[in-house]
Structure 1
Amino acid sequence: MHSPLDRIPVSIIIPNYNYEQFLGRAIDSALEQDHRNVEVVVVDDASTDASVAVIESYGDKIRPCLRRRNGGHGAAFNTGFEASTGEIILFLDADDYLYPNAVSEILDEWGADVAQAQFRLHLVDEDQQIKDVFPPPEQPFDSGDVVPELLRKGRYRTTVTSGLAFDRAALETIMPMPESDFRQGADGYLATLAPLHGEVKSIDTCLGAYRIHGSNHSVFAEKLAERARWRVEHDFRRLEALSGRAAEIGLTVPPDAGLRDPVHLEERLASLCVDEPQHPVETDSRLGLARAGAAASLEMNASWRRRAALATWFLSIGLLPRRMGNAVLAWKLVASSRPAFLARLSKTIRRATN
């Protein structure tokens, strides 16, 4: 006996650029879903490796979209969405993969008012060995109507591309996205704007794997300032897009929303401290950002221990001499820089603040 959910068409869109070594696993995971009505759209963004050969090997099992010119993350998302037909849309990064029950679990939790579902992922290495959970279990998702949180600080607790699913009607109101603004981080655009058009449903189960490897755009710890600067600038583009869409539906995002967001302030402080000449906000100061970060930390949705620990971290960077402050900053943002005793302490604190 079939469930009515079996009739709901779902599209899994896989944007790919030069991930031939991982692409097959991502496609297989989409094709192996236990939901009966899934189409798999694979967008190749003008790869220079053997990705196209991998795609062509699947024949008519998938819908290929081969871009002639590289346009980046946003362009690939736009291309895939235009080619898709599903009522619910998942964007799966080509180096990640889903578990066979992912779509069916999402549909079981879906509702008429849902614009976006989000779920946890296992953090795995290149050999698919599970290392952790992302986001960490002690960090609760924000759920339901997250618009007040979005308007207050421009962010709510969500996840990355491969842990998200969207209602097609919600996406049709915000896509195509500006491709030049989101050559990277297209998921940030979608997860920021989609909740303006419905509720967010959170699933604490791990429904897939988020692969960490040396080629990830998000992994370049040895270039801490560059990473932080990119994230700060990406936040500014997200906030601009959010402000524009919010204004169209009669809502207002305060101009200082980012100064209420600990995540944004963390990256902004890192950018300023590590490479001040390249920092994108000339008026920023270490103490000013540290004070804003401490205040924002105390308003987080987290245990009081976690809030207090983060507020203390911000203030120490602002108040300590620059060299010491930069060391404290690096210990949090780059795990490999921590002395052994701090690495042990970090694990203890994580357990204690669950």
Structure 2
Amino acid sequence: MHSIQDRLPVSIIIANYNYAQFVSRAIDSALEQSYGNVEVIVVDDASTDHSAEVIASCGPRIKPCMKKANGGHGAAFNTGFEASRGAIVLFLDVDDYLYPNAVSEIVARWDDETAQMQFRLHIVDQCEHVSDVFPPPEVPFDSGDVTPQLLRRARYQTTVTSGLAFARSALERIMPVPEQEFRQGGDGYLVTLAPLYGKVKSIDTCLGAYRMHGNNHSTFSEKLGQRARWRVEHDFHRLQALAHQAGDIGLEVPPDANLRDPTHIEERLASLCVDSQRHPVAEDSRLSLAAAGAAASMEMNVSLRRRAMLAAWFLSVGLLPRRMAQAVLSWKLVASSRPAFLTRISKTIRYVTG
């Protein structure tokens, strides 16, 4: 292991904006790694709270990058990567944290063909109580050469920022992140392009914690339409970046690849159904999206029962009266909106169809 440590320096880049209450936990988790050759870089994206004081208190154990103007997620990634030296690079969201064995487990499985490694995370609340696993254990990661899936539907089964590690050699081919298009969701850009330059490896154990709280971008459940529009537009930016990058290496991405992706279609259907006036694709109809979603569901890498249930869900949203369709959408996309009996049923279905 010592020879591997000498050969593979690792960088953990923590991007912070106004999360002074979480930044110490994230930094400590990076500094407490059992692996020896780790540098910790903290990018503060012009916070207006007391983040600067918390970061300064860490002294020389970390490399601070204090930005004077707020640039967003992608810009923070760019700043941190430019300051880093690691052969393996992790981007840790400041409200999440890693377990002490995370980097050791990653390095132990790393090889020269790896462009990206992904691992599961415990879902925790603000008090760090574990409530679940993300992605759910019954949803298998996609591993190996995922380029065919990217070229077909512009997505594969991966995870969020804090559950990822990248080869520097791959990042050098795709960075900097376009900062305007990826002010939020910079990880979406990285996971879409990095696999063009190597294999994706997966670890099914939890190596860190994904904190859910009221201020997460990913949890503004009371604004379902806004969330759906953002995700649809984010997918369009990812598709555009993928098409450009793939073209550079002689590959072609079909312009309608998103319409083979159940996750994209789900959000696009939500956007149209909840707030059709602000939906970004004028030619969409509920029925056409539902049919595309049902077809795409049957190609997913999950059990047949789960595929069939998702296909039926898409068709129900496409065919039901709008008010009923909105309720069905909300029950799936926003757990807190479900009636109690549906919550019980969904938990049973989750394990039966896993």
TM-score class normalised by the smaller sequence? over 0.9
Q: For residue 189 of structure 1, what is the aligned residue in structure 2?
A: 189
Structure 1 equivalent of residue 160 of structure 2: 160
State the Cα RMSD in Å. 0.5
Q: SS of the residue aligned with 2:66?
A: strand
SS of equivalent residue, structure 1 residue 119: strand
Deviation at 1:3, TM superposition (A): 2.7
**1:237-248 alignment runs, 5 A limit:** 237-248=237-248
> 3-state DSSP class of the match of 1:327?
helix
In the alignment, which residue of structure 2 is the partner of 1:69?
69
1:45-64 matched pairs, under 5 angstroms: 45-64=45-64
Bigger CA drift: 216-225 or 332-341? 332-341
Deviation at 1:339, TM superposition (A): 1.1
The secondary structure found in structure 1 opposite 2:213 is: coil
Distance 1:336 1:52 in 2: 35
Distance 2:51 2:184 in 1: 19
Distance 2:334 2:118 in 1: 26
Partner of 1:104: 104
Q: Which residue of structure 1 aligns with residue 149 of structure 2?
A: 149
| Whole-angstrom distance in 1 between the partners of 2:188 and 2:339 | 33
* Matches of 1:320 and 1:91, distance apart in 2: 42
CA-to-aligned-CA distance 1:155-203 (integer Å, 9 cap, x gap): 0000000000000010000001110010000000000000000000000
Runs of 4+ in 1 over 6 A off after TM superposition: none
Unpaired runs of 5+ residues, structure 1, are none
SS in 1 for 2:75: helix
Matched positions, count: 353
2:95 paired residue number? 95
The equivalent residue for 1:318 is 318
1:221 aligns with 2:221: yes
Q: Paired residue for 1:5?
A: 4
- In structure 2, the residue matched to 1:292 is 292
Find the aligned partners of 1:101 and 1:127 in 2 and give their Cα distance. Answer: 21
Distance in 2 between the 1:339 and 1:79 partners?
Answer: 45
Per-residue CA shift, 1:307-348, capped at 9, x if unaligned? 000000000011111111111111101111111111110000
Structure 2 unmatched ranges of 5 or more: none
Question: Matched residues in 1 for 2:2 and 2:39: separation?
Answer: 18
Shift of residue 95, structure 1, vs aligned partner: 0.4
| 1:258 corresponds to | 258
Q: What code does the residue aligned with 1:181 have?
A: E
C-alpha distance after superposition, 1:74-109 (max 9, x if no partner): 100000000000000000000000000000000111
Q: Distance in 2 between matches of 1:79 and 1:182?
A: 14
Q: Secondary structure at the match of 1:92?
A: strand
2:107 and 2:3 mapped to 1: Cα distance?
10
> Aligned letter for 1:121?
L
Partner SS, residue 116 of structure 2: strand
Q: Secondary structure at the match of 1:79?
A: helix
Q: 2:78: which partner in 1? A: 78
Amino-acid identity (%): 72
| TM-score computed with the length of structure 2 as normaliser | 0.99
Partner of 1:179: 179
